[in-house]
Amino acid sequence: MRNWIVIATLSLFMVVGMNACKQDFLDTQSQEKFTDDAVWSDPALVETFLNQIYFRLYEPLTDGRGTANIVDEGHYRGNSSSNLHNNSQTTQDNLYAWGYQRNLAWNELYKSIRYCNVFFSKVAEVPFTGTVVDGKTDQERMTGEAHFLRAFNYHYLLALYGGVPLVTEAYGLDSEFAVPRNSYEECIDFIVSECDKAAALLPEVHSGSNIGRVTKGAALALKSRVLLYAASDLHTPNAFISAFKKPELLGYTDNAQEERWRKAKEAAKAVIDLGLYALHKAEPAEGDSVAQNITEIFLTNNTSEDIMVKYFTQVMGQRWGLYSSPNGYYGWGVNAPVANFVDAFQMADGTPFDWNNPAHAKDPYANREPRFYATVFYNGASWRQRPADAQGLDPDNKIQTGTYQRWDAAAGRMYETYGIDTRNGPIENWNGSYTGYYCRKYVDPSVNVQYIRQSVTWRFFRYTEILLNYAEACIELGEEAEARTYINAVRKRAGLPATAATGETLRKLYRNERRLELAFEEHRYFDVRRWMIGSEAYSPAYQAKVVYPLMPNNTTATTPVVTHVKFDDRSWDNKSYFFPILRDEMNKNAKLDQNPGY
C-alpha cells in the first residue's frame, strides 16, 4: 500500500500544532504524539508530517458527495443547503452549507497552507539522509512535495474566492494577522512559481512505497490547470469584475488574454512532452466494449492516465459507493445525475441526442455513446445481483426507476406499482433518486456497499484533462486543426467519430466533451464559472418520468414511455462566480475586502 495513504491515517499520533509540550508529567516520551523537536530531528516523522497534508486534500470519494450536486451534473436528494448554492442564496453566514465544509473551507485550506509554511520554517533543521531514490534526495523530494501542496491549496482558494492573502510564513503569537488580499495576478504568479519549484525537485516517476506521492508531472499538471483557469473569460476584464471596486482581486486588468492562452497551451504541452502518460486503451480494439474500457479507468488502481492519484484501503474506505448506488441495492441515491446532464450525451454516431427526433424519444437509452453507459444508471440498465432479500423482486438485476400501470379486473380500475429503485419502491424509498437516474461512475460492482466501503482510486489529475486543457487553449488561440487533433484522440477512445467542427461549433463541442469526459470529477463547477455560463448551467433541473403504460387490452406494456420533465427550479446571480468570505474571517481581519454581491 502506498506510503502516504497509510501513514496519513496515523496523523493523530503526531503534533500538528507545533506548540505541544516537550515533556509529560512522567518526563517520558508520549506514545500518542511526538514533540516538535522529535518531528524535525527525524526525516521519517517529517515525511509523516507531509502525509497528513496530503490526507487533507479535497476529494469527493471519502465523504461520498462533491460539487457535482451544486452544478448542472447532479442533484442531492432532500438537502436544503445544496439548494442555497443552486439558487445563488449562499451568503457569508451560511457558507458552511453542504458541499463546502469538507476541506474546501477558507480556514481549512489555510490550515493546510500553514502546515506547509511550518515545513519551510523547519526544513533547514532536518538531518536528511541524502539517500537518492528515483533520482532525487529525500530533502529534494520532500521540499518539492511541500511546494506542490502549498500551491494546490492556494489554487483552490483562488478558484473559489479570487485573490487571497498570500501567507508564506507560519504565524506565531506575535504575527500580524490582519493582511489584505493579494491581487489575482500576484496569486497566479505565486502558484506558478511554486509549481516550477516543485517540478524541479520532484522525480518523474516514483517507485516502491513512494508511489502515490506527487511527481514532476503532477506539478506541471497543476500549473496547466491554474493557467487554463487564469486565461478564461471570468478573469479577463468583463462587466462583472470591472464593476467591482477592486477588480484586480478577481482577475487581470489588462487585455493580454491571448498571451495567457499561450501560456496555458505551453503548460499543457509540457506535461504531454514528458512522454510518461497515455490515454487508457486509446485505440479500442474490434469487439471491445468501449463503455467497459472507460469504466476501468475509475475502478482500476493504476492506469496509463494517472498523473496524481489517491489510493484507499478498505479500512479507510469511502462513502461514494453507498451514497451513489440505487436504493434498491440499499444505496442512498445522493449523487443523482440530472436529466439535463443525461441529454448532453451524444448518440453513438456522434450526433446530438434530440427529444424532437421520434426515434430518439421512443427509446432514449438506445444507441447512446459509450460514456453514457459508463457514467449513468438508467431504467433498464444491467447491474450486479440484488441483495438476498430483494432478488425475488428483480431476478433480472436491472435498474428499475419506472412506474407500472396495471389493471385490477375485480375492481375494474387501473392501479400503479413502482420499480424497486424508485422513491415509492419497497426498499429504502426515502433514499431514492429524485431524478430517475443514479451515478454509475466510481461505483464498484464487486462491493456490497450496504456493508462494505469501497476503495477505488481517486485521480486528482489524469492525462485526459491535460489533452483537453491543451485543446481548449488551441481553440482560443484560433489553432483549430491542432485542437481537433487532441479532441479527436479523446473522442476515439470514447468510441466516437472524429469531428471536423470549426468556430463556435467547435468551442461548444469541446465544452460538451469536457463536460462528459470529466463528469463527476470536480471540474464542471469550476468550468461553468470560468466560462461565465452560470445562467445557462443553473437553469431548471429535469428528471426522467418512466411509465409502463396500460395497453388497450389491459396488459402492461413491456417498453416504457420516457419523458424529461422539470422538477427543480434553479436560478443564477452573477455574484456566485465567487464565494463570499465568511463573516467570521472578515471579523478577524479588517483588511479583507468582501467579494461583490455579498
For the question of whether the overall pTM of this predicted structure is more than 0.85, the answer is yes
Q: Is the pLDDT of residue 232 over 80?
A: yes
- Indicate the range of 25-29, 142-146, 323-327, 427-431 predicted with least confidence: 25-29
Q: What is the pLDDT of residue 104?
A: 87
Helices and strands in the chain, H and E counts:
21, 12
Q: What's phi and psi for 458, nearest 5 deg?
A: -100, 135
**H helix runs in 168-247, sequence order:** 184-201, 216-231, 239-242
Express each pLDDT in 80-124 by its tens digit: 667 888 999 989 988 765 445 567 889 999 999 999 999 999 999
Pairing of strands 336-337, 306-310: unpaired
Express each pLDDT in 490-500 by its tens digit: 999 999 999 99
Express each pLDDT in 256-297 by its tens digit: 999 999 999 999 999 999 999 999 999 998 889 999 999 999
592-598's contacts with Cβ under 8 Å and 24+ in sequence apart are 592/165, 592/180, 592/181, 593/180, 593/181, 593/245, 593/246, 593/249, 594/92, 595/161, 595/162, 595/244, 595/249, 595/250, 596/240, 596/241, 596/243, 596/244, 596/250, 597/573, 598/91, 598/92
Tell me the chain's radius of gyration from C-alpha atoms.
Answer: 25
The residue-averaged pLDDT of 571-581 equals 96
- Indicate the range of 34-48, 220-234, 299-313 predicted with least confidence: 34-48
Q: How far apart are CA 472 and CA 233, in angstroms?
A: 12
Q: DSSP per residue over 307-335, as a string?
A: EEEE---TTT-BSHHHHHS-GGGT----S
For residue 555, with 0-12 CB atoms within 10 Å meaning exposed, 13-18 middle and 19 or more buried, which class applies?
A: exposed
Coil, helix or strand at residue 486: helix
Asked if residue 364 lies in contact with residue 468, where contact means CB atoms within 8 angstroms, the answer is no
Closest CA to 485 of 269, 298, 290: 269
Cβ-based neighbour number of residue 92 at 10 Å = 17
Q: Is the pLDDT of residue 50 over 90?
A: yes
Q: What is the pLDDT of residue 97?
A: 55
Q: HSE-up of 208 (CA within 13 Å, CB side)?
A: 3
Mean of per-residue pLDDT scores for the chain:
92
158: cell is 483562488
Under the banding of pLDDT at 50, 70 and 90, the label for residue 8 is very low
Name the E strands within 126-214.
Answer: 132-133, 136-137
Asked if residue 288 lies in contact with residue 281, where contact means CB atoms within 8 angstroms, the answer is yes
Give the DSSP letter of residue 581: P
The residue-averaged pLDDT of 323-349 equals 96
249: cell is 482581486
381: cell is 440498465
Q: Which residues 6+ apart lie within 8 Å of 507 measured at CB? A: 475
User: Percent of the chain scored above 90 by pLDDT?
Assistant: 85
Closest CA to 159 of 539, 535, 527: 527
Q: How far apart are CA 436 and CA 88, in angstroms?
A: 25
- For the chain, the residue count is 598
Q: What is the pLDDT of residue 103?
A: 78
Q: How far apart are CA 542 and CA 79, in angstroms?
A: 17
Q: What is the pLDDT of residue 17?
A: 40
Q: How far apart are CA 187 and CA 155, in angstroms?
A: 9
Q: List, in sequence order, every residue forming a beta bridge with 561; answer none if it has no partner.
A: 547
Q: Is the pLDDT of residue 4 over 50?
A: no
Q: How far apart are CA 395 and CA 401, in angstroms?
A: 15
Q: Is the pLDDT of residue 28 over 60?
A: no
Q: List, in sequence order, every residue forming a beta bridge with 568; answer none if it has no partner.
A: 541
